Amino acid sequence: MYSYRVIMLGPRGSGKTVYLGSMFQKLSSQGEWGFFLEIDGEKRKKLNRIYTEVATETKWPPGTVREEISDWIFTCSINRNRTKYSACQFVYLDYAGGRITEEEMEDDSDFNRKIESADILLGLLDGSKICALMRQEPDGVVWLINELKNMLDIMMRGSTRPVHFVISKWDIVESSGYSLKQVREKLLESSETFKNLVTRRKEDRFLTRLIPVSSVGQGFAKPLPGGGMAKIPGKLPKPFQVEVPLACILPDLIQNQQNELAKRASEERNRSTTVTASLSNTEKISQNLPGWLRGFPGIKNWAGSAEQKKKEAADRSEELRQKQAETLNKIGDERSALESVVNSFNLIQNKLYISFPDSDLSS
């Protein structure tokens, strides 16, 4: 089974652990998207505990301790005709956020190796800090020049891989009245490093996304004046878009690779080198995708205004839904299960384009 490694970068308190708990809660049973996630017994209990604590207790789960670097191995499966088919795995690495901001951790070679071997980099941008930045408060500026900068320096290293910036605590950003477009513009205008990363990746045609999520949804919590977050009594969490970052992994890896192949082909045509050379290069970047998926039609990465993107995505919805239903009906082995899962992912990604056309930083 193919396995994809996702490293979650995010400073202390940015919401990584609560996010994993909510994502698992939302995807642990086969619902509207036609697939579900499984994880081994101990970890399942732990994630369930985290979510239960978030949903039912006054306090929030404690911060992750530094020694606790853990791999969370999620198997993405589909139940069809009383048989379970496993399609692929996603390995999430969650760690104590202090690791990327505290200097003594700089030469932690094991941690660095894990970053190097990731298939995709996921950077969590703390929604509360973003609100502070929008208001030009000191907290926001400190976050920008310290925590965000450190995280971006790490992300620069993984330049050829898809990058997802996930804005956590979107409930707070939204209730403060900020749109994704405003946040995107603010980040580009206030952080030279962010702007450079986005521009460079755009030129190289590597995918970069900005995805808003909320692990608890609107109206569940409110920020306290001195920092921290208070739960509003009597409210239940309604996780928002927590499935989207996971769903973007495979479509982005496929599209990234298609872009890279197209780029290499044109470079090689210009240099008039042999086809054999191009094939061996191809193998090098394709090792983690099954051959038949390399040409899999994804969602086109269009340019154009946000309105155009939104309209194109809405027009495409029905076709994608039909395709997903067709592949779901044909499942009989691991390959067809993976095909069906990728179609579900495309559908989720398309929904993101409809709700947040500004989420694609590469167009």
64 binds Mg ion (CB under 5 A): yes
214 binds ligand GTP (CB under 6 A): yes
In angstroms, the CA 117 to CA 103 distance is 22
- Smaller CB distance to Mg ion: residue 61 or 223? 61
CB of 230 to ligand GTP, least distance (A): 8
128 binds Mg ion (CB under 5 A): no
- Smaller CB distance to Mg ion: residue 17 or 349? 17
150 binds ligand GTP (CB under 6 A): no
197 binds ligand GTP (CB under 6 A): no
10 binds ligand GTP (CB under 6 A): yes
216 binds ligand GTP (CB under 6 A): yes
60 binds ligand GTP (CB under 6 A): yes
169 binds ligand GTP (CB under 6 A): yes
Contact pick of 17, 77, 191, 336 for ligand GTP (by CB under 6 A): 17
Q: Which of the ranges 7-15, 255-263, 299-307, 315-323 carries the binding residues for ligand GTP, by CB under 6 A?
A: 7-15
Residues 217, 170 contacting (CB under 8 angstroms): no
Q: Which of the ranges 105-113, 144-152, 165-173, 245-253 carries the binding residues for ligand GTP, by CB under 6 A?
A: 165-173
CB of 295 to Mg ion, least distance (A): 39
Contact pick of 9, 14, 152, 360 for ligand GTP (by CB under 6 A): 14
96 binds ligand GTP (CB under 6 A): yes
64 binds ligand GTP (CB under 6 A): yes
The angle formed by the CA atoms of residues 279, 91 and 8, to the nearest 5 degrees, is 100
In angstroms, the CA 309 to CA 301 distance is 9
Q: Which of the ranges 84-92, 131-139, 215-223, 246-254 carries the binding residues for ligand GTP, by CB under 6 A?
A: 215-223
Residue 221 partner contact from Mg ion, ligand GTP, none using kind-dependent CB cut-offs of 5 to 8 Å: ligand GTP
17 binds Mg ion (CB under 5 A): yes
For residue 324, which of 240, 247, 252 has the smallest C-alpha distance?
A: 247
- For binding to Mg ion (CB under 5 A), which residues are involved? 16-17, 64
- For binding to ligand GTP (CB under 6 A), which residues are involved? 10, 12-18, 60-61, 63-64, 96-97, 168-169, 171-172, 214-216, 221, 229
